[in-house]
Structure formats: structure tokens, C-alpha cells
Amino acid sequence: MMKRAGLVLLLLVLLSLPALAAFPVARQGTPLAEIVVSAQGEGPLLFAAEELQTWLRELTGAELPIRHDLASPQPKIILAVNPDGFAEDLARIGAKDGYAVREKDGHLYVFGTKAKGVLNGVFRMLSKNTDIIWAHASPEYGTIFTKNPDLTLTQTDYVDIPKLSLRGWQFNTSSMDLELWSLRNGNNHGSAPKELLDKAGYFRACGGGHNLTGLFLKPEKYYADHPDFYPLINGERINRPRTQLCFTNPAMTAAFIKEVDAFIQANLEYATVNIHIEDNYTLCECEKCLQPITIDGKTVTIEDKNKFRSTQYFLFLNQVARFVAEKYPDKEIRTYAYFFTQEPPICAIEPNIRVLLAFIYKDARYPLQDPVNQATCDMFMGWAAMTKGLINRDYYGLTKEFPRPADYAMLSELRFMNQHGLERNYAEISRNWHKDPRWGNGTHVWDLNAYYFWVMTRGMWDLDVDYTELRADFRRRAFGPAADDMGEFYQTVEDGWRQISTRSRWNDDPTMMWMQSVVDPGTTEVCRAALTRAAAKAVHPNSRRLVEGIRAAFEDQVSWVTQPFRGADVEINGEFKQLDATGAPENWELAARDMVTEDGQLCARVKAGPNNKKWVRSKISIPVEKGDVYLVKAIYKGKGS
């Protein structure tokens, strides 16, 4: 009797639990559902249907048809913006590009308040229901998944909202492959090619990067009649591209506003215009630009350096912003807090100005709030007290051929900044395609860093998820049975990197990083063994290719440390050339690593140092003509020479 009563009680408990949602998509590679989307939907909504169809076909072998009505009796995956019947979910999502997934009346709904949210929902729903990972930007080996011809979606009842309203990467010169990788991992900011831009649902701004004199007051147009628009330095008005301006000159400001007005008129489809200082410190030394500035009882002088110059700049920009607010009330201005403007000014800033925090000098090994970065943190807190229109615009993804674990610092400081009101972030990142020796071998850069790039990208959405969980997820999906060995490789390199005495910044020398993080600590063989085991265990062909790419990059970089001299005959053909290893006389410590041509100059970038202790980078240039052949020779003359 007691046994029977126990069974009844167990049955009642089981009946009270929610049923596990299940939405069959395919059986034996045959579609069991169709995709429905409005034919009048925005670009991102229609693109969401195409991407869902594509990846379900890749995953299952079944091609779900795309319909624009509900006529057929087939179960449907309905992609919609603001559909009826989901008011509570839509209210939770609000203005962000989040989404919800719900089953209703035998159909599966993926929806949001904007089309970009639905597009995000397609990719994230696939990630939650399969092992797919867009691990790397390479179209050949960057996407890894297990085929399942009998796929059933089980995660079909949830709301997913990003912490940050703006998330993305700045690739500078981008490509379709890079932008698709970023997009599929949930970003909404980038520099997508036009054929992708409209259907990506990206945030859009016009004006590019550093542009005061590169775009608006070009010296070739204004200098001849108005040299006083440009900075006075050492008694001379500078006439060259990409200088700053004489920010206290009213006539210059009037001309600048006129150019901004014309630029906005030509780009009315954009809600945001970029107005950015140039990438240098060419600051005016005229009498007026050196005068103290007093505002509400506070005074700054030239002795206050950046705070003085920042105040001077924002007093100028405020005038531009007031004009824009009056004539174009729906537009906003973005500007850099960078170099001499990174410190908050003593003046208020206009409400239509969005400040991009480009803190270039902090140590990337530690988050903003760490005592190591106290000076930068103080600047952030000053900005946060002034305005809620802040955008973190960092350098987390800029690295060369070294796996820089910037994910910990990035995600930790983004949580901190988010707690102080910041909701927007994008950062510079290395490209995967270039072979410009100034930036390294792009394939090696991405093979080594896809691990961290993916964690940082996913973390911008999942800001509350610990970075170690995201790392584990990447290893599981991307490396499969080789996950533990790849984890050992990356952790060994990171442990050494965290012990080096120098700051980590966007332009770290990769050879120095490998030397100080791996070679000097004596862990080269530990790394090599882990990679060898991983290569033997990886199963998926794309996993194997990624591991082999990491191995090749590792061996290449370690060889630069252990065998520093490389030289060869180089034919000057107007393209970047990398030298082949040829050995070197005994005791030479000079590596002529990169050979390039720049503006008709042959440039050898070299690293040198006695006994591999201290390395420096220098550059030599000689005039060349196409077709010339040079033998690269290097002689180390000793310390101090």
C-alpha cells in the first residue's frame, strides 16, 4: 500500500513539472517545418530567414522552405517584429535588439521589437540548440558543427536581451568574412560592406575616423586664404595633412560648421556624424590658444596639459553641437576622448555629443578598475559623472602573432563600466587577411586569437557570464576531444604573459611577448606537446585545420626568438615581402624580419639585442625602384651602438 501511494505521489510530482519543449525541424534530412516571414519585412528580417534556412540545411541536410503566409498546415518557424500575443515579452525587450523564442499553437516564434533582434535570435537560437560555433572569420574552416539529420529544437521558451545596446568591432579595412563572423556572433556595430550593411541591421554613423582636417577643413581648400585656421607651432602655421585646428579661432569654427552642415546634408540617412580629432598632438601655440580658461570658478592653464586642451576642444565642439541640435535635432555627434581629449574637460558638453572613450595608454592585462590602471579609471569616472552618452571604444582586439588574453580585462571592466551607466562598446580588432608586416600575418593572428576574439564578442552580449565559462564553451565546440590540450596550451602562454614586467598594449611586439611569456620561462616544450596532442585528437576537419594553424603560428614565432637572424635577396615589386630564413653567422643578434616598400623606400624593420635580453625595433630606408634586388645584411655592433 505504501509503495503504491509513493508511486501515485511521484506521478503527481512529474505531472506538475513543465513539459520539455520540443520542436522537430528535420527527420532523416527531410524538413518537418517551414520558415515564415513577411515579404514586406525590413532587410534584417528577410536576411534572418535566409540565414536560418542556410544553417539548418548545413546542420541537417534539410532545406526548410521560406513562405510569406500561414496558409499551409505545416509547423512553422515564424520570424516577426512586434507580433500580437506577446506583449509582456516585447515590453521586456524594449528598445534593445534582444529577442524571444516561444512555442504557440504548434508553431515556433522568434521575435523582437526590431528586425535586428530577430536576426540575433536566429543565430543565438541555433547556438543554444546545437553545437555550432562561428569560431573564426575564415569561410573555409571558421565554422564548426556536428551534422544532425534528426534535429529537434529543445531550447524554445525564453527571452534573451543583451546587456549592451551597442556591440561590435572596428576592423578598419574590413571584409565580408570578418563582418559575417561578427554579425553571427551577435554584434550590431561594424564597418560592413554596402551589400551587407542594410540587411545586417548595424548601427550606422558617417564621417569615418580622425577627420578634422582629413574630411572637414582640408588644408588644400582653406590654407592658402586662411592659414590661421591651422595650428601655430614653433612660430609657423602648419600646412600639411591631418593636423589639429586652431580651436579658439571663431572664423575657423564658422567655416567648420559650414562644412559639417554640407556633410550632413549629403548624408541625411545617417543619425550620427563622427567629428574626431586627428591622430597626433599638433596643437596650436598661438597666443589665444595658450590663454587660461575659466568656467564657473574653475581655471585650467597650459600647465594642466590634457585637461586644458580637452576643455579647449570641447568648447569648440559645443558650438558645432549647438548648431547641429538646432538644425538637425534628430542627429548626434560622436567624438573621441583620446590623446589630449581623454581627460574630461571642466566645461559641460552638449547633450547631443556622444563621447568615445579611447583610452590607449592603459595596461590590457588588467581591467580598468584595477589599481594598475587607476589614472585611466579616474578619467572614466569623471566622464561618467558628466554624461550618459559614453561609448567605450578600446583596442581589445588589436594584437599581432601572439595570443593576447585580453578577454578577462575587457569583460571585467565592461561590467564595471556598465554599472556606472555605460551601455555601448566597440573596439578595434586585427584583420585576418592582411600580410602587411606592420600588422603581422593576418592568418596567424586570427588562428592564435580566434579563441579570445570569440569570447570577447560573445561576452559583449552575455556580460554577466564569466569569461572562463565562455572560454570553456569555445574549447568544447571548436576543439572537441582536443579541448583540454588546447586549454593547457592557452593557459601556459597566459600564465607566462601575466608574469611579464611590461604593460600590454595594442602594439605589443609579438617576438618579445613569446620570448618573455614562453621561451624565457622554459615552457616551449609544454606548449608544443599540448599542441601535438591536440592535433592528434581533433576530429572535425575544421577543428584540425584550426589546431594546425595555431601550431604553425606557434612554431613560426618561437623560431623568431630562438633563431633571430633571417635574410634573403628581395626583389622590390611594390608589394610587401617577408624574408625567408637562411641562417646567420655565429653570435649575430640582429633579425631583419620584415622587408617592405613604402613610398619608394626599402624599409627593413629589425629587432636587436645582446643575448636576446633587450630587443628594440628600428627602421632603415633607402630609395628603390621596381625591379631592384637587395641583399639584406645585418651586423650587431654591441650595446649602445
Residues 125 and 232 in one domain: no
Domain region containing 254 = 206-331
Contacts 24+ apart (CB under 8 A), 623-630: 624/572, 624/597, 624/600, 625/572, 625/600, 626/572, 626/573, 626/574, 627/571, 627/572, 627/573, 628/571, 628/572, 628/602, 629/569, 629/570, 629/571, 629/572, 630/569, 630/570, 630/572, 630/602
Residue 600 has a pLDDT of 42
Residue 191, domain member (yes or no): no
Residues 110 and 222 in one domain: no
Question: Using one digit for the tens of pLDDT, what is the confidence trace for 336-391?
Answer: 999 999 999 999 999 999 999 999 999 999 999 999 999 999 999 999 999 999 99
Residues 152 and 64 in one domain: yes
Q: State the helix-helix crossing angle for 541-562 and 483-497, rounded to 10 degrees.
A: 30
Residue 470, domain member (yes or no): no
Rounded to the nearest integer, the mean pLDDT of the chain is 87
Residues 98 and 221 in one domain: no
Final residue of a domain: which of 104, 134, 161?
Answer: 161
Residues 152 and 236 in one domain: no
Give the pLDDT mean for 540-557.
97
Residue 191 has a pLDDT of 84
Residue 309, domain member (yes or no): yes
Final residue of a domain: which of 161, 194, 227?
Answer: 161
Nearest to 426 by CA among 174, 218, 612, 170: 170
Residue 261, domain member (yes or no): yes
In Å, how far are 404, 476, 527 from 364, measured between CA atoms? 9, 26, 23
Residues 63 and 156 in one domain: yes
610 pLDDT higher than 90: no
Residue 414 has a pLDDT of 98
The proportion of the chain whose per-residue pLDDT surpasses 90, expressed as a percent, equals 78
Q: For residues 378, 382, 388 and 394, what is the CA-based torsion angle, rounded to 10 degrees? A: -40
Residues 210 and 157 in one domain: no
pLDDT tier, 17 (very low <50, low <70, confident <90, very high otherwise) = very low
Number of domains in the chain: 3
Question: Using one digit for the tens of pLDDT, what is the confidence trace for 191-213?
Answer: 888 778 889 999 999 999 999 99
pLDDT tier, 581 (very low <50, low <70, confident <90, very high otherwise) = very low
Question: Using one digit for the tens of pLDDT, what is the confidence trace for 72-98?
Answer: 999 999 999 999 999 999 999 999 999
Residue 580, domain member (yes or no): yes
Final residue of a domain: which of 282, 302, 331?
Answer: 331
Residues 321 and 212 in one domain: yes
397 pLDDT higher than 60: yes
Residue 621, domain member (yes or no): yes
Residue 518, domain member (yes or no): no
Residues 39 and 98 in one domain: yes
CATH for 30: 3.30.379.10
Residue 574, domain member (yes or no): yes
Structure pTM?
0.87
